[in-house]
């Protein structure tokens, strides 16, 4: 038997401390306090009883491996490890993009495993690699708990994001928080009042005013920003179109221009049955006298000028149809 094997066979398996964190994440210091020796920590990691998450931070092996088999499990472990390593006992909370991930608030942009934490201003500002530390006041009402972690509330998270990301990304987050009933506009405004003098706060009021709980996806939120920036009048959201006994719910409606706009993800066209149903629905809407225009994520995010041109063209056609209908009616 090898020396390592002999060492392992001669050791008593210890129980991973129940920390209450996701996957029972625990630091080296906490293991030592619980009676583990350093050689036992190394052996436990080799055996798989402990899963190394980052330097100085471990998780219960079976729990961690199960979590890593799930989509997004690596991000949850990274957040838990960073919070344990940096925030334990120091008044810190998971915040910004990381808190949004835990609350399931929609974000835009590439997935980033950087963990965001917020600490009170008078604490140590040093952060290990992979952790972005924000220093700001954290009143008790701005902090909640999930999966054993201290996390900024959905309202505080949304305001923090709106302070630090571009307007459209802030709208995506705010729409998502409102639509999922994670926060109300009154709660967002209350947080903003507390943070009113902080950097970036000036633009948050505009995000809150523009946010709408009827937006059901990041694409719909970004489309609304594109419409606004293009000088288009505000549309009705999730409007019902058609006679009382047969109605369709559409993404956006400008009734005065008899124009419907639908924003589509790629999955809609990847499914032939869904694509055919959409064509039939469009034909029915047009039979009612509506112009119907579709836009994809790529068009809305990379060609907003073209989107506005097509909508205005639909407005002109719809206005002519409405005028003709009134003349013959």
Residue 12: the pLDDT is 47
Structure tokens at 232: 């288009």
Separation CA 320–CA 328 (nearest Å): 12
Residues 13-34 have a mean pLDDT of 85
Lowest mean pLDDT among 34-43, 58-67, 121-130: 121-130
Q: Which of the four CATH numbers 3.30.559.10, 3.40.50.10800, 3.40.960.10, 3.90.1300.10 does domain 218-328 have?
A: 3.40.960.10
- pLDDT value, residue 154: 98
Q: 261, 291 in Cβ contact below 8 A?
A: no
5: confidence class by pLDDT, cuts 50, 70, 90: very low
How many Cα atoms within 13 Å fall on the side-chain side of residue 263? 24
Q: What is the pLDDT of residue 148?
A: 80
What pLDDT shows up at residue 136?
92
Is 90 a residue whose pLDDT tops 60? Answer: yes
pLDDT band at 13 (very low <50, low <70, confident <90, very high): low
Q: Do you know the residue count of the chain?
A: 329
Supply the DSSP string of 3-70, one letter for each residue: HHHHHHHTSPPPPPP--SSGGG-EEHHHHHHTT--HHHHHHHHHHTSEEEEETTEEEEHHHHHHHHTS
How far the first Cα of the chain sits from its last, in Å, is 95
**Tokens 């009616």 belong to residue:** 329
What proportion of the chain, given as a percentage, has pLDDT over 90? 56
Q: What is the pLDDT of residues 132-179, one digit of tens each?
A: 889 999 999 999 988 888 899 999 999 999 999 999 999 999 999 999
Q: Where in the chain is the domain with CATH 3.40.960.10?
A: 218-328
d(CA 89, CA 36): 21
pTM: 0.83
192 pLDDT band, cuts 50/70/90, is very high
The answer to whether the CB of 100 falls within 8 A of the CB of 173 is yes
Query: pLDDT grade, residue 11 (50/70/90)?
Result: very low
- Decide if pLDDT at 191 tops 90: yes
Q: Using one digit for the tens of pLDDT, what is the confidence trace for 45-84?
A: 999 999 999 888 999 989 899 988 888 888 888 888 888 8
Average pLDDT, the chain: 87
Tell which residue, 69, 68, 90, has the closest CA to residue 77.
68
């Amino acid at each position: 038997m090898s020396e390592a094997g002999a060492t392992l066979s001669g050791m008593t398996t210890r129980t991973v401390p129940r920390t209450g964190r996701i996957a029972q994440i625990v630091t080296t210091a906490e293991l030592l306090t619980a009676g583990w020796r350093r050689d036992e920590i190394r052996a436990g990691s080799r055996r798989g009883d402990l899963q190394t998450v980052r330097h100085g931070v471990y998780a219960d092996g079976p729990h961690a491996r199960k979590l890593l088999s799930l989509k997004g499990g690596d991000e949850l472990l990274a957040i838990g490890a960073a919070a344990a390593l940096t925030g334990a006992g120091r008044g810190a909370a998971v915040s910004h993009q990381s808190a949004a991930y835990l609350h399931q608030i929609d974000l835009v942009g590439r997935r980033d495993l950087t963990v965001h934490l917020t600490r009170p201003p008078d604490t140590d500002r040093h952060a290990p690699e992979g952790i972005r530390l924000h220093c700001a006041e954290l009143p008790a009402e701005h902090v909640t708990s999930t999966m054993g972690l201290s996390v900024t509330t959905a309202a505080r998270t949304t305001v923090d994001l709106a302070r630090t990301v571009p307007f459209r990304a802030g709208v995506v987050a705010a729409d998502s928080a409102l639509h999922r009933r994670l926060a109300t506009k009154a709660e967002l405004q209350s947080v903003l009042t507390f943070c009113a003098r902080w950097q970036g706060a000036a633009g948050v009021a505009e995000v809150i005013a523009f946010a709408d709980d009827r937006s059901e996806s990041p694409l719909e939120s970004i489309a609304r920003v594109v419409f606004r920036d293009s000088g288009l009048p505000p549309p009705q959201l999730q409007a019902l179109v058609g006679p009382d006994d047969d109605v369709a719910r559409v993404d956006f409606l400008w009734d005065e221009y008899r124009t419907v706009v639908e924003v589509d993800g790629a999955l809609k066209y990847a499914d032939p049955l869904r694509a055919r149903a959409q064509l039939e629905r469009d034909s029915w809407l047009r039979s009612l006298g509506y112009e119907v225009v579709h836009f994809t994520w790529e068009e809305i995010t990379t060609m907003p000028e073209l989107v506005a041109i097509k909508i205005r063209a639909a407005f002109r056609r719809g206005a002519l149809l409405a005028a003709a209908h009134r003349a013959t009616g």
